[in-house]
Structure 1
Amino acid sequence: MELRQLEHFVAVAQECHFTRAAKRLHIAQSGLSASIRSLERELGAPLFLRSTRQVQLTPAGQALLGEALRALSASNAAKDAVAAVQGLLRGRLSIGSLQCLHAVHVPTLLAGFLSEHPGLEIQLRQGGSDELIELVRTGRLDVAFVSKPGSGRCPDDVVIQALDREPLALACALDHPLAGNGQVKLADLAEEQFVDFPADWGTRDLADRVLTAAGIERRVALEVTDVHSLLDLVAYGLGVALVPRSYSVKTDRVRFIELAGEVPAWETVSVTTDPTSAAAAALLREVDRVKAAAG
C-alpha cells in the first residue's frame, strides 16, 4: 500500500465522484480508477459502491478513511519536521475563513506570511463555520478561522483556539422606528422581519440562540451569503439583523444599536487538527504576533 494510493482513495471518498477527484488530483480518471482497483485488490475488499451519479463508501471504505487520513497527516508531519530543521516551510497551506474576521485582516496576514515563507503555496476558501470546520476535520483544510461552535456542534477530533470576542448589535435602516434608540431590548424585536445568513453560518447560529433564549420566534425572510448584501438589504428597510458590532465600519447607511442586558458575545476561533501542520502552526503564531502588535 502506497501513500499515493491513500491520497487517491481519500480524494474519491471526499468528492464522492471519480471525475471530480481526478481533476482535484490533476491526474487522468483512468489512472485514478486503476489506482483504486489496485488498492481494493490488495486489501481484498471493495472500497466504494459505484453508480453513474456518485460513489459511496462501503463499510470497508469507511473503516479505511480514518486510518488513511491519519497516515497522510503523519506523512505530512514528517515532511514538516524535516523542513523545520532546515528552517523552511514548503508545500501547500489550505486556509478557510469567514468573510469578515474582526480578529485579523486576512489579506494583510497572508501577504506578510507569504513574504516570510515564499516557498509556500496558499489556498484560501470562504464559507460558513460548520462547512469549514468539517473541511478541517476531514483534511481538506489545514486551518480555519470561524465562529465558535455552539454547545454540542464541534467535532471532538479538532483543536480550537480562541481568537476574539465582540458584542452583537442590532442593524436597522436609518428611518427604522428603533433607529433613534441608544439601546434596544431583545423583546422589542418580537415583531420584526430579519435578514440573516444561512443556517450553518456562525453568526446566524448565535442570533438564533440569543433570540430563542429571549422567547422570540423570529422570521428570517431574506437569507444571503455575503455581509455587504445583508447590510444593503437592511439599509433599504427589508429587515433588521443581529450582527457583530465591527460590521458598523462597513457602511454609514445602516444604524447599529447596542443591545440591552446580558447578551452572549460573538466569538471567533481557529480550528486545526492534531497534529497541526508546521505551516498552520506558523500561521497561527503570525496571527498571535499581529494581534499583539495591534494592541
Structure 2
Amino acid sequence: MKLQTLQALIGIEELGSIRAAATRMHMSQPALTAAIQQLEAELQAPLLARSKQGVSFTRFGQAFMRHAHLIVSESQHAQEEIAQMRGLWEGQVRFSTSPAIALAVLPQALTSFSAKYPGVVLSVRDGLYPGVTPALREGTLDFAITPAHRQEVQSDIVAEPLYQSD
C-alpha cells in the first residue's frame, strides 16, 4: 500500500475523476489506474466502479476511504512532528469551533498564533459536537472547540474541558 496511491484516491473522491486526480498528482492517468489496480489486487476487492458518468466508489471503496483519510492525515502529522522537532514550525492545523467561540475569542487567538507561527496554515470551520465527530475520526480535523457534555462524549473521542458552565 503506497501513500501516493491513497492520496490519489482522496483526489478522486474530491474531484470525481481519475484524470483530474492524476493531473493533481503529476502522474499519467494510466500510471494512476495501474496503482489503483495494484491496491485493489492487494486488498482483493474492487474500490472503484467506472461508468460513462464517471467514477464512483464501491462499498469496499467507501469503507476503505475512511482508513485512507486517516492514514494520509497521520502521515502528514508525523512529518510535521519531525519538522517541529527539528525546529521548523510549519504545516497545517485544521479545527472546528462553535460560532460563539469563533466570534468571541478566536480572532485574537488566531492573530497571536499566526504571529508566533507564520509557517503554520490554519484552517477553521464552524461545527458543533457531535456533528464534528466523523471529521475527527477520519483525521480531516485535528481538534474541535465546541460545547459538549462530558457524559455525552463518545468513548473514542478525547475531550478536555476548557471552560465549564451551568
- 1:57-76 C-alpha deviation (Å, 9 max, x unpaired): 432x2453344344324422
CA RMSD of aligned residues (A): 3.5
Pick the aligned partner of 1:39 from 31, 35, 38.
35
Return the alpha-carbon distance in structure 2 between the equivalents of residues 53 and 132 of structure 1.
30
Kindly indicate whether structure 1 or structure 2 has the higher relative contact order, using CA contacts under 8 Å at least 6 residues apart.
Answer: 1
Return the alpha-carbon distance in structure 2 between the equivalents of residues 106 and 32 of structure 1.
43
Tell me the equivalent position of 1:125: 125
Tell me the equivalent position of 1:176: none
Tell me the equivalent position of 1:115: 115
Shift of 1:144: 1.5
Return the alpha-carbon distance in structure 1 between the equivalents of residues 48 and 28 of structure 2.
13
The alignment of Structure 1 onto Structure 2 pairs a total of residues equal to 158
- 1:205-232 C-alpha deviation (Å, 9 max, x unpaired): xxxxxxxxxxxxxxxxxxxxxxxxxxxx
- 1:72-111 C-alpha deviation (Å, 9 max, x unpaired): 2442233123212222221221121111129x70111111
Is 2:164 the counterpart of 1:165?
Answer: yes
Return the alpha-carbon distance in structure 1 between the equivalents of residues 107 and 11 of structure 2.
28
Return the alpha-carbon distance in structure 1 between the equivalents of residues 151 and 54 of structure 2.
36
Cα distance change on mapping 1:63 and 1:33 into 2, 3 Å: farther
Shift of 1:118: 0.7
The structure in which a higher percent of residues are helix is: 2
Gaps of 5+ in 1: 167-264, 266-295
Within 5 Å, give how 1:13-28 maps onto structure 2: 13=13, 15=14, 18=16, 27=24
Letter in 2 for 1:18: G
Tell me the equivalent position of 1:56: 57
User: Partner of 1:100: helix, strand, or coil?
Assistant: helix
Letter in 1 for 2:47: L
**2:93·2:120 contact (CA, 8 Å) conserved in 1?**
yes
Cα distance change on mapping 1:5 and 1:156 into 2, 3 Å: farther
Cα distance change on mapping 1:128 and 1:78 into 2, 3 Å: closer
**1:95·1:124 contact (CA, 8 Å) conserved in 2?**
yes
Cα distance change on mapping 1:70 and 1:94 into 2, 3 Å: closer
Letter in 2 for 1:78: A
Letter in 2 for 1:164: Y
**1:97·1:125 contact (CA, 8 Å) conserved in 2?**
yes
Return the alpha-carbon distance in structure 2 between the equivalents of residues 18 and 117 of structure 1.
35
Overall identity of the aligned pairs, in %: 23
User: Partner of 2:4: helix, strand, or coil?
Assistant: helix
Tell me the equivalent position of 1:65: 65
Gaps of 5+ in 2: none
Letter in 2 for 1:48: L
